[in-house]
């Protein structure tokens, strides 16, 4: 066909086809050039990046930097306090209050007071289209652990009328009750109920669950086990009357402990039964496990306390006439109850305090009795059950079905206002923040534990609605430590570090120590240059107390005495940190710099001495004379030889006589690195790789637990100081309940200006990551920091941190990703709304026009 066409037409077709192909190729080439940043004249764009691809190269030319080592060889040299940042969905509220699930239930370390006192909140309303800031306020008051949303659990139609449920357990938000005639009631997380049977008509008296499955004890000595709670198998322990079963998680191993009559204790898994010899003959009635501590209670005043090694000690001093019947626990400690109105509290499971039954007088109807008679002749009620609520509150149940509330240890009990005053067989509190009441009439009622929180100023219009998003933020300073502070409970024994393998753990690297007789206190930086010093500092104090000058005390109360780190005889007080040489490949340079800020009050000669000591070197030090009462920056140079990773090197700062010394922003590193910049070694490594894009995930912008504007803090400040000791807290509690508190972020402070300087030096485009705690104002200031005028507030900060001109003028393209690393937004709609909100906020910034043709906005949400 083509050969019959006239030559002129044939030539025209060929030319037209060639031109068309050329245009297509040009279009494809233009797209490729745009993607590969060969053409910069494009407006902002939005891409989606699933979390599953986080860390992968983008288009094959990028690197993700999640963590980097700063040039500072010290840890936490900025002394910044821990920041509690959490988000909650309100369930109700008014113009000046909001209601949220009780915060202390899911946290093994902190109480409601730890969360709320001195905290600030941001309250947002959410619709299908947007998220709107309604109020920024201060928390003024709170009522923790309020029982709300009580509702009846509808039992299946096939539950026999004469069946009673005798025990309850929760695992992974699933509730199981066991009762008469072998019946087990299963309550799903959604509230649906289903009835099962273990296969015989025995009376079931206790139940527990863990990742292995479920175990139910029978009154006749049998026990039944099930992988999923539906199909059950039976086994027995010969000659044993078992009373209570509890699940245990220990270093990834799961098993059950069962206590019974005549001092019997058994360890049971699905393959074997092992009897634990306790050498006690009293009946054991209850057993409770929490955070590595096991408490067992029984008749004749017997209370046992032990650990996962199953070695138990009897608690002395308890009333022998009391039979202890029940135990419960929370982050406030343990509570026990029993006959004769017996009540016992313990914070740590080691020291127990028995409460006088006189606190029951009002609720028990004892009136007009002469207190001096010591209530002789009064028959106090039997307390058969106890349930920890939020903080110190406890619900007690009597053998006659009454329910009494104790607001705090030692306070007079009152009649419980919960569950309509009905007669109650038992009340159980769960880690999920729910309460389940088994009533004497056989019905079940569930309730939620909530906190009612007051704030000021109040909303100008309307009230807090169900579904409103509440962001809570609080700066929590760590407690003072050392000899002048409150003594730590059961501090570890002093150990001598002499280089032997068995004593390697006597001192920790990256931890601040203070000399015995002194104290170290974290304080706010009031009326100081926050740009240079951050928000906090530490105060080293010595008041002349006689002490061992070579003994050092850590934040946890542990003590160490290193033969390689002796105090000079003419000094009296010091703060010290052992360098982590293992992660820094030792000290390989010849010259090292120490920079720090100092001020003093009451020092005898106004001088401070800073020195290095260790296993491979003689003491090397510098003295600063005439330290003033205002902050001063000081710098020292140390000349060192090669020190291997196995060496032990300490940095010390101290003074002679009595007085107080404030320290902040301590930086120690190679003179090749600058305190305000990232290490040169990182630049050299990146230059060899030559990436086109660097994802700066290590710079915290809106990261939960890092605080607002943490990207502006001085480079190399390390991580925040923990305000709450994690000693004794294990992952076992979370594994057994299905609930765990969000672990504190261990991200370190890294300055955005230092990171942008690095990307420019290696000729890469920066990829910033904005997280869920970022505020609108912080986003405006972020854009101003990047593109604002040198005379603007954040333009001046940019210049003070070493930038020459606008970053937007020095960078060809800037990627900005929006993510939610802590799952603040629980559904795809909320995630999408937040992404749109951040984009709109950025686009409304005053200096956005200078970035419009350079910025690429990336949706980094992990959608369902």
Question: What pLDDT shows up at residue 254?
Answer: 92
Backbone angles phi, psi at 525, to 5 degrees: -90, 95
Any idea what the CATH number is for the domain that residue 687 is in? 3.20.20.80
48-101: pLDDT as tens digits? 444 444 444 444 468 999 999 899 999 999 999 999 999 999 999 999 999 999
Question: What pLDDT shows up at residue 591?
Answer: 92
Burial class (CB in 10 A: 0-12, 13-18, 19+), 546: exposed
- Is residue 616 domain-resident? yes
Does 759 lie in the same domain as 642?
A: no
Query: Inter-axis angle of helices 776-787 and 752-761, to 10 degrees?
Result: 40
Q: Is the pLDDT of residue 114 over 60?
A: yes
* Buried/exposed 725-755: b ≥16 CB within 10 Å, e otherwise: eeeebbebbbbbbbbebeebbebbbbbbbbb
Question: What pLDDT shows up at residue 26?
Answer: 56
Does 127 lie in the same domain as 7?
A: no
Q: Which residue has the tokens 């002490």?
A: 547
Q: Which residue has the tokens 């609108």?
A: 776
pLDDT band for position 481 (cuts 50, 70, 90): confident
Q: For residue 457, is the peptide bond before it cis, meaning its omega torsion is within 30 degrees of 0? A: yes
Q: Which residue has the higher pLDDT, 21 or 780?
A: 780
- Is residue 247 domain-resident? no
Question: What pLDDT shows up at residue 493?
Answer: 37
The predicted model gives 667-695 an average pLDDT of 92
- Is residue 566 domain-resident? yes
The Cα–Cα gap between 436 and 152 comes to 10
Q: Is the pLDDT of residue 614 over 50?
A: yes
Q: Which residue has the higher pLDDT, 322 or 38?
A: 322
The Cα–Cα gap between 743 and 106 comes to 12
* Buried/exposed 447-461: b ≥16 CB within 10 Å, e otherwise: bbbbbbbbbeeebee
pLDDT band for position 605 (cuts 50, 70, 90): confident
The Cα–Cα gap between 121 and 137 comes to 5
- Is residue 98 domain-resident? yes
- Is residue 608 domain-resident? yes
Does 489 lie in the same domain as 576?
A: yes
**Torsional class of 229: left (φ above 0), alpha (ψ -120 to 50), beta (otherwise):** left
The pairing of beta strand 559-562 with beta strand 495-497:
parallel
530-561: pLDDT as tens digits? 667 888 999 999 998 878 889 999 887 888 99
The Cα–Cα gap between 137 and 93 comes to 15
pLDDT band for position 175 (cuts 50, 70, 90): very high
Domain around 544: 481-670
The predicted model gives 282-305 an average pLDDT of 95
Q: Which of 290-294, 654-658, 825-829 has the highest mean pLDDT?
A: 654-658
Kindly report the pTM of this predicted structure.
0.81
What tokens appear for 222 in the block?
Answer: 């049998």
Question: What pLDDT shows up at residue 1?
Answer: 39
Any idea what the CATH number is for the domain that residue 644 is in? 2.60.120.260
Does 689 lie in the same domain as 599?
A: no
Residues whose CB is less than 8 angstroms from the CB of residue 97 and which lie 6 or more positions away in sequence, other chains included = 452, 453, 454, 455, 464
Q: Is the pLDDT of residue 825 over 60?
A: yes
Q: Which residue has the higher pLDDT, 679 or 526?
A: 679
Q: Is the pLDDT of residue 301 over 70?
A: yes
Determine how many CB atoms are found less than 10 A away from the CB of residue 160.
Answer: 11
Return mean pLDDT, the chain: 86
200-220: pLDDT as tens digits? 899 999 999 999 999 999 998
Question: What pLDDT shows up at residue 574?
Answer: 96
748-794: pLDDT as tens digits? 999 999 999 999 999 999 999 999 999 999 999 999 999 999 999 99
Domains of the chain: total: 4
Q: Is the pLDDT of residue 832 over 90?
A: yes
The Cα–Cα gap between 200 and 203 comes to 9
Residues whose CB is less than 8 angstroms from the CB of residue 102 and which lie 6 or more positions away in sequence, other chains included = 112, 144, 145, 390, 433, 449, 450, 451
Among the listed residues 454, 467, 403, 430, the one whose alpha carbon sits nearest the alpha carbon of residue 169 = 430
Which of the listed residues 670, 702, 725 is the one where a domain comes to its end?
670
- Is residue 294 domain-resident? no
Q: Which residue has the higher pLDDT, 170 or 26?
A: 170
Does 114 lie in the same domain as 2?
A: no
Question: What pLDDT shows up at residue 18?
Answer: 55
Does 789 lie in the same domain as 683?
A: yes
Among the listed residues 21, 20, 42, the one whose alpha carbon sits nearest the alpha carbon of residue 31 = 42
The Cα–Cα gap between 545 and 258 comes to 51
127-155: pLDDT as tens digits? 888 899 999 999 999 999 899 889 999 99
The predicted model gives 315-328 an average pLDDT of 95
Does 698 lie in the same domain as 800?
A: yes
> Which stretch of 40-44, 98-102, 590-594, 772-776 has the lowest confidence by average pLDDT?
40-44
Q: Is the pLDDT of residue 728 over 70?
A: no
pLDDT band for position 730 (cuts 50, 70, 90): very low
The pairing of beta strand 213-218 with beta strand 434-439:
unpaired
Does 797 lie in the same domain as 687?
A: yes
- Is residue 823 domain-resident? yes
CB 542 within 8 A of CB 573: yes
Does 539 lie in the same domain as 578?
A: yes
Question: What pLDDT shows up at residue 164?
Answer: 92
Does 796 lie in the same domain as 659?
A: no
Does 638 lie in the same domain as 756?
A: no
Query: Inter-axis angle of helices 828-843 and 776-787, to 10 degrees?
Result: 40
Does 55 lie in the same domain as 27?
A: no
The pairing of beta strand 82-89 with beta strand 469-476:
antiparallel
> Which stretch of 16-20, 94-98, 581-585, 630-634 has the lowest confidence by average pLDDT?
16-20
Share of the chain above pLDDT 90, in %: 64
Residues whose CB is less than 8 angstroms from the CB of residue 96 and which lie 6 or more positions away in sequence, other chains included = 454, 455, 456, 458, 459
- Is residue 572 domain-resident? yes
What tokens appear for 581 in the block?
Answer: 């040489």
């Amino acid at each position: 066909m083509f050969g019959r066409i006239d030559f002129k037409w044939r030539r025209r077709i060929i030319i037209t086809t060639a031109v068309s192909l050329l245009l297509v190729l040009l279009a494809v080439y233009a797209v490729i050039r745009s993607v590969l940043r060969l053409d910069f004249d494009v407006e902002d764009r939005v891409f989606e990046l699933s979390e599953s691809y986080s860390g992968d190269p983008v288009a094959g030319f990028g690197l993700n930097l999640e963590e980097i080592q700063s040039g500072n060889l010290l840890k936490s040299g900025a002394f910044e306090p821990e920041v509690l940042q959490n988000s909650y969905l309100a369930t109700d509220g008014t113009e000046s209050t909001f209601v949220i699930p009780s915060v202390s239930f899911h946290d093994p370390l902190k109480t409601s007071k730890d969360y709320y006192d001195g905290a600030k909140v941001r309250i947002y309303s959410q619709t299908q289209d947007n998220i709107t800031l309604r109020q920024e306020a201060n928390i003024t008051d709170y009522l923790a652990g309020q029982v709300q949303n009580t509702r009846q659990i509808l039992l299946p139609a096939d539950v026999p009328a004469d069946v009673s449920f005798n025990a309850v357990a929760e695992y992974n938000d699933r509730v199981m009750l066991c009762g008469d005639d072998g019946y087990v009631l299963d309550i799903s997380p959604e509230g649906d109920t289903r009835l099962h049977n273990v296969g015989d008509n025995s009376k079931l008296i206790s139940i527990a669950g863990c990742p292995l499955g479920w175990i139910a004890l029978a009154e006749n000595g049998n026990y039944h086990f099930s992988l999923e709670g539906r199909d059950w198998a039976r086994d027995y322990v010969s000659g044993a009357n078992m009373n209570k079963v509890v699940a245990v998680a220990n270093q990834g191993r799961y098993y059950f402990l069962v206590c019974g009559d005549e001092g019997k204790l058994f360890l049971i898994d699905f393959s074997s039964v092992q009897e634990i010899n306790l050498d006690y003959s009293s009946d054991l009635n209850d057993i409770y496990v929490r955070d590595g501590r096991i408490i067992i209670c029984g008749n004749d005043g017997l209370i046992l306390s032990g650990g996962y090694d199953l070695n138990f000690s009897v608690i002395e001093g308890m009333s022998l006439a009391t039979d202890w019947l029940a135990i419960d626990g929370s982050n406030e400690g343990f509570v026990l109850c029993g006959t004769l109105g017996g009540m016992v509290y313990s914070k740590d499971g080691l020291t127990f305090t028995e409460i006088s039954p006189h606190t029951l007088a009002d609720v028990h109807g004892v009136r007009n009795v002469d207190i001096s008679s010591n209530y002789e002749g009064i028959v106090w009620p039997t307390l058969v059950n106890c349930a920890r609520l939020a903080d110190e509150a406890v619900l007690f149940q009597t053998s006659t079905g009454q329910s009494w509330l104790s607001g705090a240890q030692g306070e007079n009990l009152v009649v419980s206002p919960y569950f309509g005053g009905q007669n109650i067989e038992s009340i159980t509190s769960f880690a999920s923040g729910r309460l389940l009441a088994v009533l004497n009439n056989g019905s079940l009622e569930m309730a939620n534990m909530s906190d009612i929180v007051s704030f000021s100023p109040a909303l100008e219009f309307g009230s807090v609605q169900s579904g409103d998003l509440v962001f809570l933020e609080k700066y929590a300073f760590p407690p003072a430590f050392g000899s002048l502070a409150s003594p730590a409970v059961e501090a570890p024994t002093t150990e001598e570090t002499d280089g032997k393998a068995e004593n390697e753990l006597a001192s920790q690297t990256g931890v601040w120590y203070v000399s015995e007789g002194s104290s170290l206190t974290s304080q706010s930086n009031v009326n100081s240059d926050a740009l240079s010093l951050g928000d906090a500092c530490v105060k080293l104090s010595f008041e002349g107390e006689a002490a061992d000058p070579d003994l050092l005390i850590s934040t946890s109360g542990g003590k160490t005495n290193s033969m390689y780190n002796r105090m000079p005889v003419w000094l009296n007080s010091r703060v010290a940190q052992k360098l982590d040489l293992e992660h820094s490949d030792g000290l390989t340079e010849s010259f090292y710099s120490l920079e720090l800020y100092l001020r003093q009050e009451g020092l005898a000669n106004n001088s401070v001495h800073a020195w290095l000591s260790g296993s491979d070197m003689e003491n090397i030090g510098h003295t600063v004379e005439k330290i003033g009462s205002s902050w001063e920056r000081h710098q020292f140079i140390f000349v060192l030889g090669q020190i291997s990773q196995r060496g032990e090197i300490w940095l010390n700062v101290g003074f002679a006589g009595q007085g107080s010394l404030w320290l902040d922003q301590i930086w120690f590193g190679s003179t090749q690195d600058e305190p305000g910049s990232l290490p040169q070694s990182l630049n050299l490594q990146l230059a060899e790789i030559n990436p086109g894009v660097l994802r700066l995930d290590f710079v915290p912008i809106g990261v939960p637990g890092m605080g607002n504007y943490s990207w502006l803090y001085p480079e190399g400040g390390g991580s925040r100081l923990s305000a709450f000791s994690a000693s004794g807290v294990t992952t076992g509690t979370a594994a057994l309940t299905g609930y765990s508190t969000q672990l504190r972020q261990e991200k370190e402070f890294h300055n955005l200006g230092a990171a942008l300087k690095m990307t420019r030096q290696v000729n890469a485009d920066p990829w910033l990551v904005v997280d869920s705690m970022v505020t609108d104002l912080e986003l405006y200031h972020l854009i101003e920091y990047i593109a604002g005028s040198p005379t603007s507030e954040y333009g001046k900060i940019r210049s003070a941190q070493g930038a020459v001109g606008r970053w937007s003028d020095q960078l060809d393209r800037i990627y900005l990703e929006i993510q939610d690393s802590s799952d603040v937004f629980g559904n795809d709609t909320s995630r999408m709304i937040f992404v749109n909100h951040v984009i709109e906020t950025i686009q409304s910034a005053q200096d956005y026009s200078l970035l419009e043709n350079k910025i690429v906005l990336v949706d980094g949400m992990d959608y369902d």
